[in-house]
Amino acid sequence: MLEAMVMRFSRLALAHLVAFGLVGCADSHGRGATERDGGPVDAAILLHDAQVGPDASLVLDGGARVSCDPADARQALCVDIVCDGLPTWHWNGDSCFAIDCGTCEGADCDRGFRSQGECQAAHAACDAALCESTGGEWLWWAEECGHFECGFPPPEVCIRGMPVCDCGDERRFEPGVGCVIAGCPEVDPLPPDVLCAETGGEWGPFCVHSQCGEQSELACAALACHCPGVTQVFDSLRGCVDGTRCFERNPGERCHERARCGGGTICCDQCGGAGCAGEPTCVAPTCDDDPSVDTCGNRRDAP
């Protein structure tokens, strides 16, 4: 009896040592199983995945892992057979999304969550979730050197940018906390026509400011700014800048290589032997048994 208790205690101690060893390993080899800001995952999370089983042996749980990095999971296109079950929920780096039962592709398909609430709770401490829950806007598409402060990105130059939080013109983002009051100085913005021109836009009788490179079809002659870039909107403080609306596209809207198409659509060029017609658009994938046709409906053998 005593010998069995000593053996069980020894193996439990081994589980703790393994868990803390994993923390040290992740901390010394880049991100690993870490939060987006580089802080190590709590050892309790790792202990959850390294439990002592009924036979007092070390059992590795293959369930969901908590990481702020995007999961390697996506919904497959053109699936013929799906299973009769609930979807799984996965983290894409800024929010939780559902994948229908039996349609997941990627190395993390078996690490999904059973509900949206469970997924959101597991990632509540991630920068993206903290940003949104405290009133900021998470710029998942951004390539900045740091979080916005007082409505502006940092002036630093870096080799590789990252997604950041924009807390608005009176706050800044505090890692682990969210958006906080920053004591921002009062700034008098430039006149909109000057700001438009200085940031590459065109000021004229466009009725309203353009969005994502598209001018309004409203019949009025009010002065507004046309920002020509397909990812640009007009900001009253910064002029023509990239905007989330231009990266999150709906079915039937124009898209680009960095856009997310919603509603199960994909970004496609409609191309033929004479070249591509019009702008890339978010359309439903073409699911054809013909191997000479791609998922955008274009013939692979077209010159």
Quick one: pLDDT band at residue 79, thresholds 50, 70, 90?
confident
The domain boundary residue, chosen from 60, 87, 105: 60
Q: Is residue 186 part of a domain?
A: no
Q: Is residue 86 part of a domain?
A: yes
Lowest mean pLDDT among 147-151, 215-219, 242-246: 215-219
Quick one: pLDDT band at residue 144, thresholds 50, 70, 90?
very high
What's the CA gap between 136 and 179, in Å, rounded? Answer: 6
Residue 206 has phi, psi (to 5 degrees) of -100, 5
27 SS3 class: helix
Lowest mean pLDDT among 79-83, 122-126, 193-197: 79-83
Range of the domain at 164: 127-181
Cα three-residue angle 209-245-94, rounded to 5 degrees: 150
Enumerate helices (H) and strands (E) in the chain, giving the number of each: 5, 18
**DSSP sequence for 86-151:** --EEEE-SSSEEEE-TT-EESTTGGG-BSSHHHHHHHTTTSHHHHHHHTT-EEEEEEEESS--BTT
Q: Is residue 11 part of a domain?
A: yes
What pLDDT, on a 0 to 100 scale, did the predictor assign at position 274? 58
| Residues 242 and 266 placed together within one structural domain of the fold | no
| Residues 16 and 56 placed together within one structural domain of the fold | yes
What pLDDT, on a 0 to 100 scale, did the predictor assign at position 111? 94
Task: Record the tokens describing residue 16, joined without a space.
Answer: 């703790």
What pLDDT, on a 0 to 100 scale, did the predictor assign at position 299? 83
What's the CA gap between 141 and 249, in Å, rounded? Answer: 13
| Residues 138 and 117 placed together within one structural domain of the fold | no
Q: Is residue 145 part of a domain?
A: yes
Percent of the chain exceeding pLDDT 90 equals 61
What's the CA gap between 85 and 101, in Å, rounded? Answer: 6
Percent of the chain exceeding pLDDT 70 equals 76
- Whether the CB-CB separation of 151 and 235 falls below 8 Å is answered with no
Cα three-residue angle 94-106-62, rounded to 5 degrees: 90
Its pTM stands at: 0.72
Q: Is residue 200 part of a domain?
A: yes
Quick one: pLDDT band at residue 157, thresholds 50, 70, 90?
confident
Q: Is residue 134 part of a domain?
A: yes
The domain boundary residue, chosen from 19, 38, 60: 60
What's the CA gap between 34 and 30, in Å, rounded? Answer: 9
Q: Is 200 left (phi over 0), alpha (psi -120 to 50) or beta?
A: left
Better-predicted residue by pLDDT, 19 or 166: 166
What's the CA gap between 74 and 93, in Å, rounded? Answer: 13
Q: Is residue 51 part of a domain?
A: yes
Type and span of the H or E element at 20: helix 2-28
Q: Is residue 281 part of a domain?
A: yes
Tell me how many domains the chain contains.
5
